[in-house]
Amino acid sequence: MDGTLLDSTKDLQPGTRRAFEAMRAAGTRIMLASGRPIPGLKGLASKLNLGQDLVLAGMNGSIVVDQATNREIARHPMPLNIARALIAVAKRHDVLVMIPHDDELLVEDPSDTHAQHEATSNKLSIRHVDDLTELDVKPTKVLLVGERDITDPLLDELNRTYGDQVELAYSSPLYLEATAAGIHKGSAITDYCEAEGIPLSRVMAFGDNGNDIGMLRTAGLGVAMGNGIPEAKAAADLVTTSHDDEGIARVLSRYFDVDTSDVPGLSEAPHPETNETDDAARPTNPTGRTLT
């Protein structure tokens, strides 16, 4: 979402909105995959007028919901003992820990500005917990907040100690996020496609950050944004322009029958960079495809 579908003003660029609406009208299933909890994703989709028939993959793929039917397709909580151990290590590194759980945000300090922002932006109520190392619910995500000079050493220790038991990825310079082992946005694509009988080869995914890498590798065509981190670009099949330069619209108008010719400046900009050589193999009918 941030840095991919949304530009720097937290809105859709005109061509991107045009392409988004054209793909929906053609019958393409669209998944919003995010580190946000489901209530936050629903709120953002409503605010941006994205429709009520989306597939929502929240908590970096830990929860997948079909919004059209309100059916929960997948939920992958972290084992409680692993979550508690991870939290204990994070606290030892003086890293802020927050646990989004259903419609609540579990924190030790409700007055913390990061906690208040996270709760407000994702439509969560704050619940005070004296000691998160005594957490009594299996979380679908553990959110670790801090500057990189303290979260990078934490990430190194967690990878050494629990690397085969958790999935760890940055979603922003301040947010290091932990989910159950093997659970990421790419696994959310797999969960949905297996449930609906859609081949992964028919999935196109867009991303820019560390928590998008699994998704870019899983999709039939992974597209990294021009503003993305080097690791995301390396994992992708194609690199488009930035989120502030209609990166998504440029790809969709190239691959599908999406007319963005009247969007100012869109037709003059450079094409996305790709290693593909067979133009004839590119899809021309988006119906039945899935975009994330």
Statement: residue 275 has pLDDT above 60: no
Rounded distance, CA 162 to CA 155, Å?
10
Tokens, residue 66: 């079909």
Task: Give the H/E segment covering residue 161.
Answer: helix 148-162
Q: Which residues of 229-243 are buried (b: 16+ CB within 10 A; e: fewer)?
A: bebbbebbbbbbbbb
Residues 6+ apart with CB under 8 A from 214: 61, 167, 169, 184, 185, 186, 187
Give the β-pairing of 221-224 and 238-239: parallel
Q: Which two tokens stand for residue 226?
A: 């021009």
Lowest mean pLDDT of 5-9, 52-56, 281-285, name the range: 281-285
Whole-angstrom distance, CA of residue 172 vs CA of residue 246:
21
**Domains, the chain, ranges and CATH?**
14-75+184-291 (3.40.50.1000), 80-180 (3.30.1240.10)
**pLDDT at residue 286 in the model:** 44
Please provide the average confidence, as pLDDT, over all residues in the chain.
Answer: 91
When pLDDT is cut at 50, 70 and 90, the band that residue 278 belongs to is very low
Nearest Cα to 3, choosing from 214, 152, 226? 226
| Residue type (1 letter), 126 | I
Per-residue b or e along 33-44, where b marks 16 or more CB atoms closer than 10 Å to that residue's CB = bbbbbbbbbbbb
Q: How many CA atoms lie within 13 A of 189 on its CB side?
A: 28
The pTM assigned to this predicted structure is 0.90
Least confident among 90-99, 192-201, 256-265, 280-289? 280-289
Give pLDDT, residue 281. Answer: 38
Position of tokens 């937290």? 10
Q: What does the pLDDT look like over 228-262, one tens digit per residue?
A: 999 999 999 999 999 999 999 999 998 888 877 77
Give the closest residue to 75 by CA, choosing from 192, 207, 171, 214.
192
Q: Can you say whether residue 274 is alpha, beta or left, with left for phi > 0 and alpha for psi between -120 and 50 degrees?
A: beta
Name the amino acid, one letter, at 38. Answer: I
